[in-house]
A = this chain, B = another copy of it.
Amino acid sequence: MAEQTEAPRRTPLSRERVLRAAVTLADEAGIDSLSMRNLAQDLGVVPMALYKHVANKDELVAGMIDVVIDEIDPPLAGTDWKHAVRERILSARRVLRRHPWVSLAIESQQTATPAILAYLDSMVGTFRGAGFSVDLAHHVMHAMGSRTLGFSQELFDTARNAGRTGATTPAPPAALPAQFADRFPNLAEIAVVASHDDASVVGRGCDDQFEFEFALDLLLESIERLHQQGWTSSR
């Protein structure tokens, strides 16, 4: 028993460190690999030690969400509302693409976290500050839906990918399984055209970023039109 000295003496845990390690783990190994046990192992600690810093797993995930949401840029000052909203949403999108597990985590969670509330509140504030009525601001927030947070379900992408054969085929155009093209001719047509006309994007049928901005701008322009018309509730 000569060497109780020179112990590694690792830096102590903290809520901050736990949350950051959890975000990193989820980023790198996927949200399914985020278990209290795995997380504890990454931190060189026994699972139950985590419970001194987070109440339970749900609260851990809520904390992780807040960490990520706080990465979103603050609203641009000194521009029109449309530009400010657009840029902020694109910032949110960049953040959520760095942490792909977040959108699903947000939807699974039943209650909004403080950071989400603050973000939404600030977004409403931008509209209100530009002269939007409370009603219009309200409807507009609903209309944007999850796009305010930089994501919309990419289930149409999923559908497109379902036509592909393997996991990492180099995607030669028109390499759709014949069966798929047969049963879903309209989807197949889109997949073929999309993979033809942008040769720059290799292995992807379409440009998600373009699609996201397309939909975002469509909404923003509609909203602008409502606003200019002095829209008031017609319920």
Contacts and interface: CB of A to CB of B under 8 A. Distances in A.
Interface of A: 103-104, 106-108, 110-112, 114, 116-118, 120-122, 124-125, 128, 134-135, 137-139, 141-147, 149, 152-153, 155-156, 158-159, 161-162, 183-187, 189-190, 193-194, 197-198, 206-207, 210-212, 214-215, 218-219, 221-223, 226, 233, 235
Contacts of A107: 103-104, 107, 153, 155
A141 B147 CA distance: 15
Contacts of A145: 145-147, 152-153, 155-156, 215
A159 B222 contact: no
A193 B155 contact: no
A120 to B, nearest CB: 5
6 contacts: A106-B155, A112-B162, A142-B152, A142-B212, A146-B152, A197-B235
Contacts of A114: 183
A161 B116 CA distance: 13
A46 to B, nearest CB: 27
A217 to B, nearest CB: 10
B190 A134 contact: yes
B143 A215 contact: yes
A143 to B, nearest CB: 4
A73 to B, nearest CB: 18
A223 B219 CA distance: 10
Nearest to A214: B139
A139 B222 contact: no
A186 B143 contact: no
A122 B16 CA distance: 49
A222 B51 CA distance: 50
B121 A141 contact: no
A110 B214 CA distance: 24
A112 to B, nearest CB: 5
A66 to B, nearest CB: 14
A201 to B, nearest CB: 11
Contact of A121 (B144, B185, B214, B215): B185
